Structure 1
């Protein structure tokens, strides 16, 4: 059976990163009791490699082949944006940084915000795990050392690679940490917004679909290790464990989830994303916006 367009997109949105081994301090332990072990030889990918993976798509867009109903293909291009990230480590890596951005209490941005109402970005870094918004299950996995959530509407954002470079100026560990140094509670969300497709079809339903992918950035949940034949090199596929969609309804949904199985996959990944955000106590504006808009009738989607 041929893969659905949604499955092809998820594969294209999966970073494949060098999988290395080295002695380092890392998170590990039996029975879900995580503790710091000194200088074990562990497998990992680097956050620097992760951000480098997004540099090309940040500059040119990620090209995804999309099969149309008549069997022909277009290539839909998406730009990645850093939507949200939480980094849990075994210890504090950075002193607390004052919260930056707006104080707007709205849960999400809107397509028709006026200039005066545009939400500003907000981020903060925590120096310990005393944040009352984080449940005990997450606290047991380490210190919430850094978190970021994007509040701006898409047209005010800068691509993921540029955003990470900006944040790393104040938080250099964002590029120097390794996945083995992060607790299982560490995660990343990428927002994918379409920019164009080739060849162009002006009235093609579904090509305005937007996606949120969720990825674990800890070594603990990485099990898709790829051994390259003929060479000693290995890589890891950091596959999405969660998904939310926007502007993918009725006719548009048929383009992406033509098979019942892929529609069920979309529902399953959405449920996984929702459960994860509750588990780690994360407020994710993009997820709230995608959820609220996906519940509207098709003719009301702006």
Structure 2
């Protein structure tokens, strides 16, 4: 799949547009709007648009199989299409109490299993980080202390599922294969709706270059890998995360789905100036800003994201 390149777009603009999922959406029945979590949806609205996680993954189906085509203009004026393949890098899904209770056994077993994994593989993790990972779990045997911790986490929600990829790029499973495999054990990865998710729910997608057309030579400037961060909750749908508000509004027309542009970005093997030469130098500032936002997000959630550490560590090492 190749997206169109508008004449005024920079290469960075085009990459972000071509890798932004636009998810098929539905409208929440008015009888359900009044039952929304008011901490997560404080604004009164007559209509609420939402998507299911299953429809979100459908956006990545073709990209996962063939790559996402990004038109690029090189410094010499030559144009080509670079293809990038997406992989699931990380995801955390937080739900409300009611969502957790409807799948208590699934949530508890999945979360406790994840906690054990971190205890085994991250022995240097601080006790406060372990406590944070645990305090969102719904447990019948937690006692009053556990209840107090859960009460403090009302705004964050209850952690239904989390996954952090640690394999090398060549050892990773294609995104759709990974999701389909995980969904067999965690069906909420397909059925949960964006209105059911807390504002703390997010995912990161790693994009690796695979080939470009026309082929024939290696271009170092096109070896850059990207890590895009996306929110999953309907709480952010009214926020403009793109610079081009007109383009965002065009995507958000009724029937065209919900756009999930990245709020954060990290890069690896950034060489040359193909990605920073556009927009009169503002793309360089934009990259720095998007990296800073991603870093702040991870710190607020007390998350150690392996890919982010690797991408940013190599750059500054």
Give TM class, smaller chain. Answer: 0.7 to 0.9
Give, in whole Å, the separation in 2 of the partners of 1:286 and 1:105: 15
Cα separation, partners in 2 of 1:233 and 1:256, compared to 1, 3 Å: same
**Counterpart of 1:151 in 2: which secondary structure?**
coil
1:44 equivalenced with 2:50 (yes/no): yes
Conservation of the 8 A alpha-carbon contact between 1:225 and 1:234:
no
TM-score scaled by length of structure 1: 0.79
Conservation of the 8 A alpha-carbon contact between 2:83 and 2:212:
yes
Q: What is the aligned residue count?
A: 268
Cα separation, partners in 2 of 1:72 and 1:27, compared to 1, 3 Å: farther
Conservation of the 8 A alpha-carbon contact between 1:81 and 1:192:
yes
Give, in whole Å, the separation in 1 of the partners of 2:222 and 2:117: 32
Partner of 2:127: none
1:20 equivalenced with 2:30 (yes/no): no
Conservation of the 8 A alpha-carbon contact between 2:94 and 2:159:
yes
Cα separation, partners in 2 of 1:55 and 1:138, compared to 1, 3 Å: farther
Q: Note the 1:13-92 alignment, pairs <5 A.
A: 13-23=19-29, 24=32, 27-29=36-38, 33-34=39-40, 42-91=48-97, 92=100
Cα separation, partners in 2 of 1:35 and 1:64, compared to 1, 3 Å: closer
Partner of 1:284: 305
Partner of 2:244: none
**Counterpart of 1:283 in 2: which secondary structure?**
coil
Unaligned 5+ runs, structure 1 = 108-123, 297-302
Q: If each structure's strand is expressed as a fraction of its own residues, which one has the higher value?
A: 1
Cα separation, partners in 2 of 1:187 and 1:247, compared to 1, 3 Å: same
Partner of 1:177: 192
Q: 1:166 aligns with which of 181, 191, 204?
A: 181
Cα offset for 1:181? 0.8
Q: Note the 1:226-245 alignment, pairs <5 A.
A: 226=250, 233-245=255-267
Cα offset for 1:104? 4.3
Unaligned 5+ runs, structure 2 = 1-6, 125-133, 239-247
**Counterpart of 1:272 in 2: which secondary structure?**
helix
- Please give the per-residue CA displacement for 1:179-203, whole angstroms capped at 9, x wherever unaligned: 0110111101000011111112523
1:96 equivalenced with 2:109 (yes/no): yes
Conservation of the 8 A alpha-carbon contact between 1:66 and 1:76:
yes
Give, in whole Å, the separation in 1 of the partners of 2:249 and 2:53: 17
**Counterpart of 1:147 in 2: which secondary structure?**
strand
Q: 2:315 aligns with which of 268, 277, 294?
A: 294
Cα separation, partners in 2 of 1:136 and 1:276, compared to 1, 3 Å: farther
Partner of 2:241: none
Cα separation, partners in 2 of 1:271 and 1:74, compared to 1, 3 Å: same
TM-score scaled by length of structure 2: 0.76
Conservation of the 8 A alpha-carbon contact between 2:92 and 2:159:
yes
Worse-matched range after superposition: 6-15 or 90-99? 90-99
Conservation of the 8 A alpha-carbon contact between 1:128 and 1:145:
no
